[in-house]
Amino acid sequence: MSLTSAALSPLPNAAAERPKTAVHPVIPPLNFAMVSPGVYRSGYPNQLNHSFLKSLKLNTLIYLCPEDCNQQNLSFYKQNGISVMQFGIQGNKEPFTDIPEPVIRDALEVLLDVRRHPLLIHCNKGKHRTGCLVGCLRKVQRWALTSIFEEYRRFAGNKTRILDQQFIELFQTSLVRYNVRYKPAWL
């Protein structure tokens, strides 16, 4: 037998002998990232992201859109014991649409309670509303505005909104309330 014919002869198929198992891809949602230990951010998850979300062992989901969650996601959250906290914020696209500061403060109160961790913050694309909430968290953490805006721009890409950045800059951290007994170690 020549080298060429040996290289072309079939080898025993070890894969055929192994039991077949379903492969579930682990795909993070759009714009996914860790914000701080126990806190994540992303765009709107879909069914392809469920295996990934399950691996995070989430307790809470902070949903920042006014629209209802789709039924597939709601079923997944219920099956996995994930509480959904909806803070319906309209997109800040127009100069006359303001992000409601009391709603951001309420969302921060949930976010700053370790009993709710691990948690995921999301809106449609994980850019603007999520960016505003994370930006306000960064102010509570006493980050410099330049670092806050750099992080905001990283996720917003070429769709940065001056109104969002202005909201973050003017956000009054002194009005944020949380239980110090349950605050995260990174605060």
Residue 81 contacts residue 59 (beta carbons within 8 Å): yes
Q: Of the residues 65, 123, 132, 136, which is catalytic?
A: 123
Task: Give yes or no: 123 in active site.
Answer: yes
Q: Is 49 exposed, middle or buried (0-12, 13-18, 19+ CB in 10 A)?
A: buried
> Which one-letter DSSP state was computed for residue 117?
-
Phi/psi of residue 84, nearest 5 degrees: -105, 120
Q: Which two three-digit tokens encode residue 46?
A: 């879909």
Q: Which two three-digit tokens encode residue 54?
A: 């399950």
Report, as residue numbers or ranges, the catalytic residues: 123
